[in-house]
Amino acid sequence: MASPEDSPPSNTAYDPQKDGAKMRFDDAMSYGDYLQVETLLDIQTCHSPAHDEMLFIIQHQTSELWMKLILHELAETRLAFQQGNMPVVFKMLSRISRIFEQLNNQWDVLRTMTPADYTSFRDSLGLSSGFQSFQYRMIEFILGNRNPNMLKPHEHVPHFHSQLAQELNQPSFYDTVIDYLFQTLDGNLDARPKMALDTPHVAHEDVQARWKIVYENTADNWTLYELAEKLMDLEDYFRRWRFNHVTTVERVIGFKRGTGGTSGVKYLRRMLEVELFPELWNVRGDL
């Protein structure tokens, strides 16, 4: 982004040759080369003459790019957690929360599209739906909302289906956090409740009791306390994203069925009730 410092001083002769204005990029990496801008700008393919379809496509493509970054950061978070590198874990979790904040802000732009605008190209979507987003589903699986039935929308893309199925065969990130919680407070995992890997995480009283110990003795359990609050930040932004999704869809299509066959707003409202880290929410009522 240009700034006043980028402009040549008024009392200094400007030399475009010296300042790179005539630089040749025949054998050098340019901005467009590095970011593959030409390819990036060539993939917004509208399927109708409707003006607002471009907005709809760019909104969802940029959302997928942000979700790609979330998955990139979650992978680094998991690795750092396995290595016991908690400063990096906290940094990555903070970054993921900020990414969800960016995703939240995008809804403000999409909400400028009226029902009449959307109707003008909705038929062009066919059966496509955000419900089918592989990356969104992977984010949910990693964080703990794991429903094997959600594999079905991805059966037509074998490598996506395989990656999701593989995720269901390993502990979620929150599962590993719970292991760390019990290992730190109890010194072992004997009291840790057994939970299936391929089902949504539900609140467990023994887990909640450990988090209560953390919140009642923050000075003695500061690392766990900070970890808990980073997770709360993440889910706070994630739940806001879901809420903004619901209100945007209701504002644009009302209670019509979704293009992918879901019940639309009714389905999205049910998703508002899902908690990724329920014990962390519930423990607040015990303090």
d(CA 166, CA 163): 5
Stretch 225-246: mean pLDDT, rounded?
A: 93
Neighbours of 170 (CB within 10 A): 12
pTM, to two decimals: 0.87
Q: What is the pLDDT of residue 34?
A: 94
User: How many Å apart are CA 29 and CA 274, to the nearest integer?
Assistant: 46
**Contact 55/110 with Cβ under 8 angstroms?**
yes
Average pLDDT over residues 88-116: 95
Domains observed in the chain = 48-286 (1.20.58.480)
CA-based R_g, the chain, Å:
23
Q: Which two tokens stand for residue 266?
A: 């009714």
Residue 247 has what pLDDT? 84
The more confidently predicted of residues 267 and 164 is 164
pLDDT tens digits for range 71-81: 999 999 999 99
pLDDT in tens, 253-280: 675 555 555 556 666 677 667 899 999 9
pLDDT at 249: 82
